[in-house]
Chains A and B, each alone.
Chain A
Amino acid sequence: MAGRDVARDGFDAYLDAVGRRLFGPRRARAAILDELRDGLHEAAAAARRRCPGADTGAAVRAAVREFGPAHLVAAAFAGELACGQARRTVTGLLVTGPLVGLLWLAAGSPVAASVVGGGPLAAVPPAPLVAVAVLAGAVVLAATGRRGALLGRGRMLAVDGAVVVVAAAVVADLVMLAVLLTGATGSSIGASSVAFLAGCASLARLGACGVQAARVLGCRRALTGPGEH
């Protein structure tokens, strides 16, 4: 019982150190720590088989030594976690993009009107913005798919592509909200309940973009970092 506690405490400290250095989807990080914990227990059991007289503490230390420094173990997972995060971020935004866009279209397509009207928002053409987001999203999905995994490359490309998609979504939502708040269309959009819903959807997506941007940039730092944090 005491031996089991020693093992748990020794592994907890090590896994905490690894976990603090992991960036990516929460479930994937938790799965990695569960898998490492199981591996550490197996390594400790193997150490006890090699040295039957060794106490639990020695076996735990041998297992941790075998797995290596926490920052190196975390750095080794950075690539797969970055791919998972980039794919998750892009999928979420590509799925919600058309939904938010449809709400705005139902509210009266204010951006189109503002562009036609030659206002300050005319400098932000929505169609090319959507095209850039879709193209970058396609690159991310390809880089993080099966082919990308076989090649073992494209992790940084995937992360950078996800940053582009997030930026495009943020710009698009800010433009729509600005149009709504300034009444740039001169239409009845401000009084429409659909416009209210569309505004709420854009606000929610802006919040989600903030969270996703932080996670993606965290993954990017983990990919480019020296492994020591």
Chain B
Amino acid sequence: MSLRMRAEALKGHLDGLLLAALEPGPLHGYGVIDHLRAGSGGRIDLPTGTIYPALHRLERAGLVRSRWSDSSGRRRRTYELTPAGAAALDESRVGWAEFATAVSALLGRRAWPAAT
């Protein structure tokens, strides 16, 4: 059974993944795709048509900003996190940790960890 995750399975977490990809530094669109693929060992291999529009939407939301440059005679659009994007990434991490803990508790029949 393939371990490649479908886009539907990542629905709701795509923004966080994209923001996390941009956390180390600016990347162009295909660089983001490559980062997700390499960082997940090939398990997260989202369609190109999903990534570019999502980056555009994140820019409209003020979470990333883009700039154009020339690269090998081509126009290249590079994205980077904004301060609002960095804050949203932190929120996304907290949300994912809670979600993952809850699902793990249910799937693995583990008790919900006591609050410290």
Contact = CB atoms under 8 A, between A and B. Distances in A.
Interface string B104-116: 0000000000000
Given A35-B75, A42-B34, 6 more contacts: A36-B52, A38-B71, A42-B31, A72-B49, A80-B53, A146-B62
A150 B34 contact: no
A76 B52 contact: yes
A196 interface: no
Nearest to B14: A152
Interface residues of A, number: 30
B57 A35 contact: no
Contacts of B94: none
Interface in B31-64: 31, 33-34, 47-50, 52-53, 56-58, 60-63
A79 B49 contact: no
B75 A34 contact: yes
Contacts, number: 76
Interface in A52-90: 66-68, 72-73, 75-77, 79-80, 83
Q: How large is the interface on B (under 10, 10 to 19, 20 to 34, 35 or more residues)?
A: 20 to 34
Interface of B: 28-31, 33-34, 47-50, 52-53, 56-58, 60-63, 71-72, 74-77
A68 B48 CA distance: 7
Interface in A118-163: 144-146, 148-150, 152
Contacts of A67: 48-49
A87 B113 CA distance: 47
Q: Can you list the 4 inter-chain pairs with the closest CB atoms, starting with the nearest? A: A76-B49, A149-B61, A149-B60, A42-B30
B60 A32 contact: no
B21 to A, nearest CB: 14
